[in-house]
Amino acid sequence: MQKQIVTYPEPFLATKALPVRSVDGRIRELVRDMFDTMYASKGIGLSAPQIGVGKRVIVLDISPVEEEIKPFALVNPEIVGKQGQVEGMEGCLSVPGVEGMVCRYEYVTVQGKNESGDPVTIEANGLLSRVLQHEIDHLDGILFIDRLSSSTASAQ
């Protein structure tokens, strides 16, 4: 079911999300709602805090850009390895109409659980790396506008 997206400057977006204790039916329902909301909003990533849920859950679908990467959800994702740096343009469903250049790690290794509760490890670069970092930032109460490179924000 599509949910309302929480938008800046709502203070909840600056709150650190809590770890998920177990991947159960409620978490799978949350994942479905997050996918529904992300697709309805034409996004490529969404975190649970963006729909007002303080849990460490993210969903991504970059398949329109990188066909070989199928949509997926991660529960309790954590960056466990990183290297290099690269700047790129970002926007956010919670900060509508704003884009800016953000410096991110070029390569990341992320561990978490899938929606079945099985452990997964993802090695990522390019767009996948950027989206993973952006969504994990949301779980830590960080918005992309907190990371803008100098004064590069622009209104759309």
135 is catalytic: yes
Q: SS3 for 147? A: helix
Q: Tokens standing for 53?
A: 């849920």
The whole-angstrom separation of Cα 13 and Cα 7 is: 8
For the chain, give the number of residues. Answer: 156
Q: Considering only CA atoms, which of 80, 94, 91, 75 is closest in space to residue 130?
A: 91
Q: Which of 106, 115, 123, 135 is catalytic?
A: 135
Catalytic residues: 135
